[in-house]
């Protein structure tokens, strides 16, 4: 059971906190009904993430056994048997989809799309250049959509744009870390890395970084945003976003970081403080503004 729990990688579940974005930005964070539905959506996506990690480890078991760190994973090391992992993935996957159905057919559709996307990634898309990082980024977009669908909130185009750009930034930074840390053995551990180079990834990261910062700045200052929330103070949060992205780039280029975005978020104190201050400032600005909460249409 311990080996199975480790294979589900609960330390990576922080990525699923994105399902709470719609709850916070519609100003229903303290409403019991929407909050409970968002918590349920978070739990479903944590379970689905665990299924995806199990399937990915099963598909990559031989490669992982040749990796300096991944060889210690339960399936690669033999601590968790392959038949047991297959049964656990199938059972947890079916249970997760059943729980998703309880939150509504639309939410089930998004959850199924997330699972299908990640299955496609594990079995094929991770071997296709550019589509590999786009697939990872779309997984974050589906998390954001799922959070809105779960509580019946309208999905903002700005949320989707900012999410995919930030996710692309993190995915490209991870690819760069893999190439630089594994060196000449990179392609042997992950064949798609032979299609990239540090220079190419740096060019992509620079473009996505600029796009992400620009999109967020435009969002905070857009007339529609100011009219929706009845405040023009969201632009005050831009410095926190700037610092967070620059800090992450510092970790990638100067500290050989970026291999695990979720790990960096909880272990690097300056980055953690910046993100906490951004979240606190955003919620304070939104919830003290005079604008009414966004109407919801939740229901199974």
pLDDT in tens, 89-141: 999 999 999 999 999 999 999 999 999 999 999 888 989 999 999 999 999 99
pLDDT at 263 (0 to 100): 79
Single residue among 122, 139, 155 that ends a domain in this structure: 155
Single residue among 133, 155, 177 that ends a domain in this structure: 155
C-alpha torsion angle, residues 184, 188, 192, 198 (rounded to 10): -10
Do residue 18 and residue 96 come from a single domain?
A: yes
Residue 55: give the domain boundaries: 1-155
pLDDT at 62 (0 to 100): 82
CA atoms of 261 and 246, how far apart (whole Å): 14
Query: Which of the listed ranges 7-11, 87-91, 180-184 does the model predict with the highest average pLDDT?
Result: 87-91
pLDDT at 255 (0 to 100): 84
Residue 41 has pLDDT above 80, yes or no: yes
Closest C-alpha to 181, from 70, 72, 21: 70
CA atoms of 152 and 34, how far apart (whole Å): 9
Q: pTM of the full predicted structure?
A: 0.90
Do residue 189 and residue 162 come from a single domain?
A: yes
Compute the average pLDDT of residues 55-73: 82
Flag whether 238 is in a domain.
Answer: yes
Do residue 2 and residue 140 come from a single domain?
A: yes
Do residue 20 and residue 140 come from a single domain?
A: yes
The enclosing domain of 47 has a CATH number of 1.10.357.140
Do residue 173 and residue 150 come from a single domain?
A: no
Tokens 């038949």 correspond to what residue? Answer: 83
Flag whether 300 is in a domain.
Answer: no
Do residue 32 and residue 129 come from a single domain?
A: yes
Do residue 147 and residue 201 come from a single domain?
A: no
Do residue 163 and residue 266 come from a single domain?
A: yes
Compute the average pLDDT of residues 226-236: 92
Distances (CA, A) of 175 to 44, 70, 122, 138: 28, 16, 16, 16
Q: Kindly report the average pLDDT of the chain as a whole number.
A: 90
User: Which one has a higher pLDDT value, 292 or 23?
Assistant: 23
CA atoms of 145 and 18, how far apart (whole Å): 9
Backbone angles phi, psi at 297, to 5 degrees: -130, 50
CA atoms of 118 and 125, how far apart (whole Å): 9
Do residue 117 and residue 166 come from a single domain?
A: no
pLDDT at 236 (0 to 100): 96
Do residue 252 and residue 126 come from a single domain?
A: no
Neighbours of 258 (CB within 10 A): 24
CA atoms of 296 and 280, how far apart (whole Å): 23
């Amino acid at each position: 059971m311990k080996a199975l729990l480790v294979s589900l990688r609960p330390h990576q579940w922080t990525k699923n906190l994105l399902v709470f974005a719609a709850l916070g930005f519609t100003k229903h964070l303290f409403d019991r009904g929407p909050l409970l539905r968002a918590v349920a959506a978070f739990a479903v996506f944590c379970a689905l993430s665990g299924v995806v990690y199990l399937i990915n480890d099963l598909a990559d078991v031989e490669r992982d056994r040749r990796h300096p760190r991944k060889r210690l994973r339960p399936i690669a090391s033999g601590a968790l048997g392959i038949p047991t992992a297959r049964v656990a993935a199938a059972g947890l996957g079916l249970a997760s989809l059943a729980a998703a159905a309880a939150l509504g057919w639309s939410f089930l559709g998004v959850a199924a799309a997330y699972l299908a996307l990640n299955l496609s990634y594990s079995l094929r898309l991770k071997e296709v250049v550019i589509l590999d990082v786009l697939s990872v980024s779309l997984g974050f977009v589906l998390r954001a959509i799922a959070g809105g669908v779960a509580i019946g909130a309208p999905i903002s185009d700005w949320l989707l744009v900012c999410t995919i750009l930030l996710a692309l930034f993190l995915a490209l930074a991870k690819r760069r870390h893999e190439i630089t840390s594994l060196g000449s053995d990179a392609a042997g551990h992950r064949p798609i890395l032979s299609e990239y180079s540090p220079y190419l990834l740096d060019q992509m990261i620079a473009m996505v970084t600029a796009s992400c910062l620009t999109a967020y700045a435009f969002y905070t200052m857009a007339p529609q945003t100011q009219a929706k929330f009845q405040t023009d103070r969201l632009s005050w949060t831009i410095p926190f976003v700037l610092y967070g992205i620059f800090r992450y780039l510092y970790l990638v280029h100067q500290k050989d970081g970026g291999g695990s975005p979720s790990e960096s978020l909880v272990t690097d104190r300056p980055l953690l403080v910046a993100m906490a201050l951004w979240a606190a400032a955003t919620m304070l600005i939104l919830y003290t503004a005079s604008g009414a909460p966004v109407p919801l249409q939740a229901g199974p």
